A and B are shown apart, each in its own frame.
Chain A
């Protein structure tokens, strides 16, 4: 929590410095010749460090590289923490944030979002002997998840009477599920399937519920009011979609031959509107 507090202080100072600097960010990026992008670097396969090359690679990296190419500058990736994503962007330490960022209404007051770059479902996993086979059956039950993301508000929306308990890391939350401190565990589908795979022979005791709790629209974060930069980001994404490149990038990181194993791609890079 202390980290969050620092983030809060950063955010506060960003609010004040933000007013002073009104220059066009796109022009600045072209001038310095590089596009600095904040990424998590720990979020396989969106952005993660390739064990062989020690470089940050992934789905979001490919998109960002395309944007830098379009502007005609060099992409520079900077690893940032989840809580620092918005302060870093507002302070101008990074030009864009491509860090598993969920686009929601509340956040629109703080920053702008690109076209939706990924749509993911959040799912629940339960112990088989709990007898739960359907999301509504989680009503009145204790459900565990990670803190700081959109998992908690989403489970509350899907099952308002569920008692939600959250932890700093998904490992802790998953541990609590294994100890029986809750009947279900909720996470993004890709992350959930990875935790599930780690169970090994224990897998037989657990079931991943089919139904999605919510659909999350992920997008690239852009500093509020930088319309020039947003235009070029959106244009790049639209072009990727049109040329079929977006489909290829998706299959490369999330397709049937990857650990994520998505059979189909159910979204297109076409809109920055969310429900």
Chain B
């Protein structure tokens, strides 16, 4: 019996399962990232809004999401929330990939709360005179944001956002608990079928590490290519 059986990872049924898991994890990452970014931007703007109730709304969103573990979010969006929907929609949803949808919603809302805080910090890093200058030129709140503040702020924000993407990538593994057949799930399945724990989790760890390093590399590259302009 070889100590470490590479063949298991390179070909055959178990290889296919692990690769399918990796692909699904990457899809979860892409879908939840695309959903999280606009939500995060809206929430950040809510938190900076001149209208008090809007600020409270943004505050409530960030704090209520950030202070509950992702695991609880995941279980809620799978077992809890869909049960509140009308019967017809529920039936339709349950017939499809409800597991993956729930996971994407949980991941996106969770990540958006953190990203919103990063974007808000980025906006606050831009000196207020810039905002005042925009207003002096006759732009409204949204106009000043869009034309003057955000273009500068987003450049400051990209490195922390990439770091949140790294967290998001690792957090996709929690989707296992609601039966999404992502990488960690498949590694568990291969382990239980073969008892080759070391090989299956080595594959998963290597895959997480590789993608994480790629994301980190992206952050470093961005930082060099587009340094924050001295304000």
> Which residues of A sit under 8 angstroms from B188, Cβ to Cβ?
1, 4, 147-148
**In the complex, chain B residues whose CB is within 8 Å of the CB of A224:** 1
Contact present for A165 and B99 (CB under 8 Å): yes
Q: Find B79's partner among A83, A148, A179, A182 (CB 8 Å cutoff).
A: A179
Q: In the complex, which of the residues A1, A11, A15, A182 contacts B176, with contact meaning CB atoms closer than 8 Å?
A: A1
In whole Å, how far is B187's beta carbon from the nearest beta carbon of chain A? 8
Q: Does A65 contact B (CB under 8 A)?
A: no
A148 to B197, CA, bound (A): 12
Write the chain B residue with the least CB distance to A16: B3
Q: Choose among B83, B91, B94 the residue with the greatest number of A CB atoms under 10 Å from its CB.
A: B94
The interface on chain A, measured as residues whose beta carbon lies within 8 A of the other chain's beta carbons, has a size of: 38
Is the CB of B194 closer than 8 A to any CB of chain A? yes
Please name all residues of chain B whose beta carbon is closer than 8 Å to the beta carbon of A1 when the two chains form the complex. Answer: 173, 176, 184, 188
Q: In whole angstroms, how far apart are the Cα atoms of A12 and B4 in the complex?
A: 9
B179 touches A166 (CB 8 A): yes
A87 interface residue, CB < 8 Å from B?
A: yes
For the complex, is B177 an interface residue (Cβ under 8 Å from A)? yes
- Set of chain A residues within 8 Å of B184, measured between Cβ atoms: 1
Determine whether the beta carbon of A152 is less than 8 Å from that of B195. Answer: no
Check B201 for interface membership: any CB of A closer than 8 A: yes
Q: For A176, what are the chain B residues with a Cβ–Cβ distance below 8 Å?
A: 79, 179
**Is B90's CB under 8 angstroms from A148's CB?**
no
Q: Does residue A209 face the partner (Cβ distance < 8 Å to B)?
A: no
- Report Cα–Cα, A274/B98, bound state, in Å: 37
Residues on A with beta carbons closer than 8 Å to the beta carbon of B191 = 4, 7-8, 83
Report yes or no: B179 in contact with A165, Cβ–Cβ below 8 A. Answer: yes
Contacting pair A4 B197 (CB below 8 A): yes
Min CB distance, B81 to chain A, in Å? 11
B183 CB to nearest A CB, Å: 10
Asked if A261 lies at the interface with its beta carbon under 8 angstroms from chain B, I say: no
Number of residues from B at the complex interface, CB < 8 A: 32
- Distance from B194 Cβ to chain A, minimum over Cβ atoms (Å): 4
User: 8 Å CB contacts to B: which residues of A139-196?
Assistant: 142, 144, 147-150, 152-153, 165-168, 172, 175-176, 179-182
A1-B184, A175-B79 as given contacts; A109 in contact with B177, CB under 8 Å? no
The answer, yes or no, to whether A111 is at the interface (CB within 8 Å) is yes
B90 touches A180 (CB 8 A): yes
When the two chains form the complex, which single residue of B94, B173, B176, B177 contacts A181, counting CB atoms closer than 8 Å? B94
Q: Contact check, A12 vs B195: say whether CB atoms are below 8 A apart.
A: no
> Measured between alpha carbons, how far is A109 from B195 in the docked complex, in Å?
9
B176 contacts which chain A residues (CB < 8 A)? 1
Q: Knowing A15-B3, A148-B188, A181-B98 are in contact, say whether A106-B198 is a contact too (CB < 8 A).
A: no
- Give the complex CA separation of A23 and B80 in angstroms: 55
**Known A11-B197, A111-B195; contact A147-B189, beta-carbon cutoff 8 A:** yes
- C-alpha gap A167/B79 in the complex (Å): 12
The A-contacting residues of B in range 182-219, CB under 8 angstroms, are 184-185, 187-189, 191-198, 200-201
A106 touches B194 (CB 8 A): yes
On whether the beta carbons of B189 and A152 are closer than 8 Å, the reply is yes
**Chain B CB within 10 Å — which of A87, A107, A172, A180 has the most?**
A180
A151 and chain B: residue at smallest CB distance: B192
Q: Which residues of B contact A180 (CB under 8 A)?
A: 90-91, 94
Flag if B99 contacts A106 (CB, 8 Å): no
A64 within 8 A of B: no
Q: Which residues of chain A come closer than 8 Å to B79, judged between CB atoms?
A: 172, 175-176, 179
Residues of A within 8 A of B200 (CB): 8
Residue A110 interfacial (CB < 8 Å): yes
Q: Smallest CB–CB gap between B166 and chain A, Å?
A: 19
Does B192 lie within 8 Å of A11, measured CB to CB? no
From B82, B187, B198, contact of A15 by CB (8 A): B198
For residue B54, give the distance in angstroms from its CB to the closest CB of chain A. Answer: 36
| Residue A86 is within 8 A (CB to CB) of chain B in the complex | yes
With A16-B3, A181-B94, A181-B98 known, 4 other A-B pairs at CB within 8 A are A4-B197, A8-B198, A147-B189, A150-B193
Q: Which 5 A-B pairs have the closest CB atoms?
A: A8-B197, A165-B179, A8-B201, A11-B197, A106-B194
The 11 sampled A-B contact pairs (Cβ below 8 Å) are A1-B173, A106-B194, A109-B195, A144-B179, A166-B185, A167-B177, A175-B79, A179-B83, A180-B91, A180-B94, A182-B94
Residues of B within 8 A of A (CB): 1, 3, 79, 82-83, 90-91, 94-95, 98-99, 173, 176-179, 181, 184-185, 187-189, 191-198, 200-201
